[in-house]
């Protein structure tokens, strides 16, 4: 089974703090993704990565950055957290092998910025 | 840009009722289609997917979905829902050859016992 883990289930941070969200997958997947999930808005893509040290902006990258130094790990960084970044953050991974482009999701990190 | 519409934001059904959740997408090219489910307190899980072939796709837990290309639709169905189907359901579309998934806004289903 594919396993995607996220470093924290819940986080509380203050405005202006630097926040790191970590994601690890154990299936040697090439692709990794960060989404945020908000009620009534569904999932929106923040950043994704096709390979180590590669990153691409998603639909809402403003206020975020990412890092992928190892294949299994993809980090989301909030340089200076703001209250409008309070949300559920979901990490996902997928493989390029064959045509099985299914994305597998982690449990999510619920971030509250005060 | 691709967009996905889920017309029902909240659905309330009694057990044993039939379910159909609508999903429409905008881009007319070749697409891969997915339904994901998120049970209360759990992570997002794949319910079913369509890549090619038979447009009627069967998934887990008795769910199925039908791809109708002419209508840009991929509606989710279940003939008889159970209380345990209470969850949020997301339709998602991927343009073939790209890895980006575009999600709908989700439908919250509440099944009363």
The per-residue pLDDT for A102 is 85
Name every chain A residue with its beta carbon within 8 A of the beta carbon of B45. 105
Does the distance separating the beta carbons of A40 and B103 come in below 8 Å?
Answer: no
SS (H, E, C) A32-101: EEEEEEECCCEEEEEEEECCCCCCEECCCCCCCEEEEEECCEEEEEECCCCHHHCEEEEEEEECCCCCCC
Kind of pairing between the strands at A104-105 and A87-94: antiparallel
Tokens of A81: 């957290």
Q: Which of B34, B100, B106 sits opposite A45 (nearest CB)?
A: B100
Q: Is A110 on the interface with B (CB under 8 A)?
A: no
Q: What is the mean pLDDT of residues B59-86?
A: 95
Residue B92 three-state SS: strand
In chain A, which residue's Cα lies nearest the Cα of B1? A59
Indicate the DSSP class of residue A106.
Answer: -
Does the distance separating the beta carbons of B99 and A48 come in below 8 Å?
Answer: yes
Q: Which of A94, A99, A107 sits opposite B43 (nearest CB)?
A: A107
Tokens of A36: 């945020």
- Span B89-112, pLDDT tens digits: 999 998 776 778 899 999 999 999
The per-residue pLDDT for B28 is 72
Kind of pairing between the strands at B107-112 and B10-14: parallel
The per-residue pLDDT for B99 is 74
In chain B, which residue's Cα lies nearest the Cα of A95? B99
Does the distance separating the beta carbons of A48 and B100 come in below 8 Å?
Answer: yes
The per-residue pLDDT for A2 is 66
Q: What is the mean pLDDT of residues A55-60?
A: 93
């Amino acid at each position: 089974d594919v396993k995607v883990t996220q470093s924290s289930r819940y986080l509380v941070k203050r405005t202006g703090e630097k926040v790191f969200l970590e994601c690890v997958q154990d299936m040697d997947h090439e692709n990794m993704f960060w989404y945020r999930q908000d009620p009534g808005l569904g999932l929106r893509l923040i950043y994704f990565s096709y390979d180590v040290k590669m990153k691409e902006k998603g639909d809402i990258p403003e206020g975020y950055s990412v890092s992928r130094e190892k294949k299994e790990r993809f980090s989301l960084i909030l340089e200076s957290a703001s209250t409008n970044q309070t949300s559920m953050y979901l990490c996902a991974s997928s493989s390029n092998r064959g045509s099985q482009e299914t994305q597998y999701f982690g449990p999510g990190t619920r971030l509250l910025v005060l | 840009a691709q967009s996905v519409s889920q017309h029902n934001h909240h659905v309330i059904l009694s057990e044993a009722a039939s379910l159909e959740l609508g999903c429409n997408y905008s881009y007319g090219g070749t697409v891969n289609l997915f339904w994901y489910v998120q049970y209360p307190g759990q992570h997002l899980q794949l319910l079913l997917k369509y890549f090619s072939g038979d447009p009627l796709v069967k998934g887990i837990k008795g769910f199925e979905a039908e791809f109708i290309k002419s209508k840009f639709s991929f509606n989710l169905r279940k003939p008889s829902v159970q209380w345990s189907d209470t969850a949020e359901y997301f339709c998602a579309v991927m343009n073939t050859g790209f890895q980006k998934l575009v999600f709908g806004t989700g439908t919250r289903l509440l099944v009363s016992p």
